[in-house]
């Protein structure tokens, strides 16, 4: 029964999907194409929303929101107000997190929340099977409403580097009627597992379709995203009627103020249900700012009605008349892919004249120029451009003043400053240059999150190694000898600690990464039941202090080579916690300090499997059952296709290598540790916690 119902449902739905995707391609792509080149982010982990938006050709990143769906439903007059507020808070949380955690500001963040209502009750996702049964039996034989609240956040960096968040929100309601459902059928459905992650306890696009007698309204709204209304809203935002000459920075298409969330406002602080919109409503009772207002610049008009973007021609040409995905026209992949639909033909269109082609070209240019951009950052940082600008009275200086301060030529300084502006490292008003928020955050030498140390390490050590990349690839070896005239059999003794100033530079580099990532690593897991930790290879102690700060009951021993410990005093924070102590030793040879938690932050990737096993077996010996090892590294994706930061770093490695979370898990398992948790922190380092059996 279930299998039969499923196949019917799947057939019906795939039919709906084919129709939908073809129609939306024709109708919506000009709207979607307005987003080309913008960083669009979906603040939702829902695979259904992802599929709906991918199907219409939208390019976006997925950054699931950390906003906890805990708004008090009683404070909302209607279910849709609740769904809209939740969607808004989800999207704002991501919009506000990304500039700091991902180091980039999105242009648009999309949040959505779907709820099912029946008999005046809001049904969200069931917590267990009984809950699913309660929900589904309540829906049986009745009509209910599905509301999806959607929030579109337009992020706009202002001149002072603060970010404006403009919110456009709306909701869609669809009525769904369930057939009378027997208990047997309900339990069969519940036992399929499908209800558990879905609002109202069913998924209309799959097995749950068999429960449904009729749907009035937008079908995709029930799946989780009201695509049609979303595209209409985009149309209003990016090509509002008569928008060709919009240039007011703060007015909606109707000429009234748009909804702007001040940057300092915490995501959850806006009182639920509070009237946040100032402007007059559109037909759905919502505010619609224009893209020109959102970005402080005019949007170009896209293709007119009769014009069809080439990408659309390509997409359509992949769909045969019977709805199957198969290529049409020429089989030569290099030749233009022409459709048989007369009005849409476009001949002699070269790859770089299409939106898609332009995007590929700009990616190529970014890659080709990447080394120049890095070197501009390294040089401006080494010449203390950011510190010089910060220490001027107004925070601004003209090029000639900067040239004087950094003791460099006027011509060269001006070029450097202009390049910095183009890279978002500086801003210029008239002739005055100033730091951007990003530079103030990461590039001042005494800032709490300064990356200066690591940048100088990249400039002085990594850069020379990469100039010999070709030889490194041909020979499969690191190129220390070629780059620095000295071989490095022992990476630390021969390369990093060969001279005092080199050691200090290396320690500053480790310190800066530990300061930026330490808090997220230290708070990745609940360690409240442990009393003592040992940070093996803890370098300056920055990570150890973060662990002590995050866990009031934990004492942390920082263990490193004697030549490192003797210099760690340089990095001691002024408010140093006396629960952090320092022990000198060699973790391959000496006895390890006793501890409940052994921290290995950026240690294992440096060593061969053989040495990793020596170190892990020493830790395993020192561990009692229940003790644990916390490994923090860049975790490669399981398919080893990213992140590129990890794979690029591997190119200059000596004997070590980068691993995925499951490779670390296996390594630790071979020493009797069971993986308890893996945490992708979205910061520079991830973490895995493994417990001794």
Site for ligand SAM in 11-50 (CB under 6 A): none
Q: Does 646 bind ligand SAM (CB under 6 A)?
A: no
HEC per residue, 364-425: HHHHHHHHHHHHHHHHHHHCCHHHHHHHCCCCEEEHHHHHHHHCCCHHHHHHHHHHHHHCCC
Q: Which residue has the tokens 């850069």?
A: 463
Interface pick for ligand SAM out of 187, 463, 484, 492 (rule CB under 6 A):
492
Interface pick for ligand SAM out of 602, 618, 671, 679 (rule CB under 6 A):
602
Q: Does 558 bind ligand SAM (CB under 6 A)?
A: no
Q: Does 537 bind ligand SAM (CB under 6 A)?
A: yes
Q: Does 240 bind ligand SAM (CB under 6 A)?
A: no
Window contacting ligand SAM (CB under 6 A); options: 89-97, 343-351, 475-483, 510-518: 510-518
In whole angstroms, how close is the CB of 475 to ligand SAM at the nearest point? 24
- Choose between 82 and 582: whose C-beta lies nearer to ligand SAM: 582
Q: Does 564 bind ligand SAM (CB under 6 A)?
A: yes
Q: What's the rounded Cα separation, in Å, for the pair 465 and 483? A: 6
- Choose between 218 and 560: whose C-beta lies nearer to ligand SAM: 560
> Which letter, b or e, does each residue of 134-166 get, where b requires 16 or more Cβ atoms within 10 Å of its Cβ?
ebbebbbeeebbbbbbbbbbbbbbeeebebbbb
In whole angstroms, how close is the CB of 336 to ligand SAM at the nearest point? 51
Q: What's the rounded Cα separation, in Å, for the pair 222 and 114? A: 8
- Choose between 135 and 539: whose C-beta lies nearer to ligand SAM: 539
- Choose between 373 and 614: whose C-beta lies nearer to ligand SAM: 614
In whole angstroms, how close is the CB of 541 to ligand SAM at the nearest point? 9
In whole angstroms, how close is the CB of 684 to ligand SAM at the nearest point? 10
DSSP state of 660: B
Q: Quick check: helix, strand or coil at residue 634?
A: coil
Q: Which residue has the tokens 């021993």?
A: 557
DSSP state of 345: -
**Are 402 and 413 a contacting pair, CB within 8 Å?**
yes
- Choose between 40 and 564: whose C-beta lies nearer to ligand SAM: 564
In whole angstroms, how close is the CB of 408 to ligand SAM at the nearest point? 33
- Choose between 527 and 564: whose C-beta lies nearer to ligand SAM: 564
Interface pick for ligand SAM out of 539, 592, 631, 634 (rule CB under 6 A):
539
Q: Does 538 bind ligand SAM (CB under 6 A)?
A: yes
In whole angstroms, how close is the CB of 447 to ligand SAM at the nearest point? 18
In whole angstroms, how close is the CB of 557 to ligand SAM at the nearest point? 12
Window contacting ligand SAM (CB under 6 A); options: 326-334, 336-344, 534-542, 567-575: 534-542
Q: Does 634 bind ligand SAM (CB under 6 A)?
A: no
Q: Does 202 bind ligand SAM (CB under 6 A)?
A: no
Could you confirm whether 113 is annotated as catalytic? yes
In whole angstroms, how close is the CB of 509 to ligand SAM at the nearest point? 9
Interface pick for ligand SAM out of 234, 543, 667, 668 (rule CB under 6 A):
543
Cis peptide before 643 (omega within 30 of 0): yes
Window contacting ligand SAM (CB under 6 A); options: 202-210, 242-250, 475-483, 596-604: 596-604
Q: What's the rounded Cα separation, in Å, for the pair 685 and 665? A: 16
Q: Does 687 bind ligand SAM (CB under 6 A)?
A: no
Cβ neighbours, 10 Å, residue 193: 11
Q: What's the rounded Cα separation, in Å, for the pair 18 and 275? A: 40
Q: Quick check: helix, strand or coil at residue 439?
A: helix
Q: What residues contact residue 120 under an 8 Å CB cut-off, 6+ apart?
A: none
Window contacting ligand SAM (CB under 6 A); options: 201-209, 212-220, 283-291, 557-565: 557-565
- Choose between 85 and 560: whose C-beta lies nearer to ligand SAM: 560
Question: What character string, x for contact with ligand SAM (CB under 6 A) and - otherwise, covers 324-363?
Answer: ----------------------------------------
In whole angstroms, how close is the CB of 473 to ligand SAM at the nearest point? 23
Interface pick for ligand SAM out of 143, 160, 586, 693 (rule CB under 6 A):
586
Spacing of C-alpha 527 from chain mean position: 26
CB-based contacts of 68-74 (< 8 A; 24+ apart in sequence) = 69/113, 69/124, 71/272, 72/272, 73/122
Q: What's the rounded Cα separation, in Å, for the pair 149 and 114? A: 6
Q: Which residues pair with 584 in a beta bridge?
A: 560
Q: Does 593 bind ligand SAM (CB under 6 A)?
A: no
Q: Within a 13 Å sphere around the CA of 576, how many CA atoms are in the beta-carbon half? A: 16
Nearest to residue 509, comparing CAs of 615, 687, 381?
A: 381
Residue 555 tokens, joined: 């004492």
Q: What's the rounded Cα separation, in Å, for the pair 130 and 132? A: 5
Window contacting ligand SAM (CB under 6 A); options: 96-104, 206-214, 568-576, 595-603: 595-603
72, 107, 113, 131: the catalytic one is: 113
Site for ligand SAM in 251-280 (CB under 6 A): none
- Choose between 17 and 496: whose C-beta lies nearer to ligand SAM: 496
Number of residues that bind ligand SAM (CB under 6 A): 18
Residue 444 tokens, joined: 């001042």
DSSP state of 605: G
Interface pick for ligand SAM out of 560, 596, 633, 686 (rule CB under 6 A):
560
Tell me the residue length of the chain.
693
> Which letter, b or e, does each residue of 330-341 get, where b requires 16 or more Cβ atoms within 10 Å of its Cβ?
eeeeeebbbbee
Site for ligand SAM in 91-150 (CB under 6 A): none
Interface pick for ligand SAM out of 588, 591, 642, 645 (rule CB under 6 A):
588
In whole angstroms, how close is the CB of 634 to ligand SAM at the nearest point? 11
Mark residue 592 as left, alpha or beta (left: phi above 0; alpha: psi -120 to 50; beta: remaining): beta
Interface pick for ligand SAM out of 83, 377, 444, 510 (rule CB under 6 A):
510
What angle separates helix 2-32 from helix 47-55, to the nearest 10 degrees? 50
Q: Does 561 bind ligand SAM (CB under 6 A)?
A: yes
Window contacting ligand SAM (CB under 6 A); options: 46-54, 216-224, 364-372, 581-589: 581-589
Q: Within a 13 Å sphere around the CA of 79, how many CA atoms are in the beta-carbon half? A: 21
Mark residue 11 as left, alpha or beta (left: phi above 0; alpha: psi -120 to 50; beta: remaining): alpha
Q: Does 601 bind ligand SAM (CB under 6 A)?
A: yes
- Residue nearest ligand SAM, CB atom distance: 537
Q: Does 514 bind ligand SAM (CB under 6 A)?
A: yes
HEC per residue, 258-319: CCEECCCCCCCCCCCCCCCCCCCCCCCCCCCCCHHHHHCCCCCCCCCCCCCCHHHHHHHHCE
- Choose between 97 and 602: whose C-beta lies nearer to ligand SAM: 602
Site for ligand SAM in 606-625 (CB under 6 A): 606
Q: What's the rounded Cα separation, in Å, for the pair 532 and 553? A: 8
The catalytic residues are 113
What is the binding site for ligand SAM (CB under 6 A)?
492, 510, 513-514, 537-539, 543, 560-561, 564, 586-588, 601-603, 606
């Amino acid at each position: 029964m279930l299998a039969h119902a499923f196949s019917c449902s799947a057939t019906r739905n795939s039919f709906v999907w084919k129709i939908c995707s073809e129609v939306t391609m024709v109708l919506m792509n000009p709207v979607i194409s307005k987003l080309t080149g913008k960083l669009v982010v979906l603040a939702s982990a829902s695979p259904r929303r992802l599929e709906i938006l991918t199907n219409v050709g939208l390019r976006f990143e997925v950054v699931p929101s950390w906003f906890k769906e805990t708004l008090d439903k009683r404070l909302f007059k209607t279910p849709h107000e609740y769904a809209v507020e939740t969607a808004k808070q989800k999207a704002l949380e991501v919009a506000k997190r990304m500039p700091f955690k991902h180091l980039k500001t999105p242009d648009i963040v999309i949040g959505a929340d779907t709820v099912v209502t029946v008999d005046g009750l809001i049904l969200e996702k069931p917590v267990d099977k009984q809950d699913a049964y309660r929900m589904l039996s309540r829906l049986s034989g009745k009509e209910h409403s599905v509301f999806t609240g959607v929030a579109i956040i337009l992020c706009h960096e202002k001149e002072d580097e603060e970010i404006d968040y403009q919110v456009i929100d709306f909701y869609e309601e669809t009525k769904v009627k369930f057939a009378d459902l027997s208990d047997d059928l309900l339990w069969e459905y519940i036992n399929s597992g499908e209800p558990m992650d879905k609002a109202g306890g069913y998924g209309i696009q799959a097995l749950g379709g068999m429960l449904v007698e009729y749907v009035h309204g937008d079908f995709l709204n029930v799946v989780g995203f009201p695509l049609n209304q979303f595209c209409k809203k985009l149309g209003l935002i990016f090509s509002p009627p008569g928008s060709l000459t919009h240039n007011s920075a703060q007015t909606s298409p109707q000429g009234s103020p748009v909804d702007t969330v001040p940057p300092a406002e915490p995501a959850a602080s806006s009182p639920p249900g509070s009237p946040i919109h100032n402007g007059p409503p559109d037909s759905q009772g919502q505010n619609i700012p224009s893209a020109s207002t959102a970005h402080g610049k005019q949007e170009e008009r896209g293709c007119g009605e009769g014009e069809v973007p080439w990408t659309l021609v390509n997409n359509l040409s992949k769909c045969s008349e019977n709805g199957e995905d198969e290529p049409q026209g020429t089989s030569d992949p290099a030749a233009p892919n022409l459709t048989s639909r007369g009005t849409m033909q476009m001949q002699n269109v070269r790859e770089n004249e299409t939106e898609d082609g332009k995007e590929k070209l700009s990616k190529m240019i970014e890659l080709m120029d990447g080394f120049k951009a890095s070197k501009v950052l390294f040089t401006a940082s080494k010449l203390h451009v950011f510190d010089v600008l910060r220490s001027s009275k107004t925070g601004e200086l003209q090029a000639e003043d900067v040239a004087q301060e950094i003791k460099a030529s006027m011509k060269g300084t001006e070029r450097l400053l202009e390049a910095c502006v183009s890279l978002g490292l500086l801003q210029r008003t008239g002739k005055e240059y100033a730091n951007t928020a990003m530079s103030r955050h990461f590039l001042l030498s005494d800032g709490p999150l300064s990356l200066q140390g690591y940048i100088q390490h990249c400039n002085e050590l990594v850069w020379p190694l990469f100039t010999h990349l070709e030889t490194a690839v041909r020979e499969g070896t690191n190129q220390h000898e070629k780059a620095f005239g000295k071989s490095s059999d022992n990476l630390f003794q021969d390369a990093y600690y060969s001279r005092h100033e080199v050691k200090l530079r290396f320690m500053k580099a480790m310190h800066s990464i530990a300061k930026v990532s330490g808090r997220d690593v230290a708070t990745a897991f609940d360690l409240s039941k442990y009393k003592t930790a040992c940070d093996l290879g803890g370098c300056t102690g920055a990570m150890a202090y973060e662990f002590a700060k995050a866990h009031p009951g934990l004492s942390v021993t920082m263990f490193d080579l004697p030549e490192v410990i003797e210099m760690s005093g340089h990095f001691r924070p002024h408010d140093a916690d006396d629960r952090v102590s320092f022990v000198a030793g060699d973790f391959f040879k000496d006895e390890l300090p006793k501890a409940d938690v052994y921290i290995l932050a950026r240690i294992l990737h440096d060593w061969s499997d053989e040495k990793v096993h020596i170190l892990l077996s020493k830790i395993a010996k020192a561990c009692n059952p229940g003790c644990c090892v916390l490994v923090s590294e860049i975790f490669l994706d399981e398919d080893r296709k990213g992140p590129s930061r990890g794979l690029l770093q591997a190119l200059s490695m000596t004997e070590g290598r980068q691993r995925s979370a499951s490779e670390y898990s296996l390594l630790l398992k071979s020493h009797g540790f069971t993986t308890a948790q893996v945490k992708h922190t979205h910061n520079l380092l991830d973490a895995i916690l493994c417990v001794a059996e």
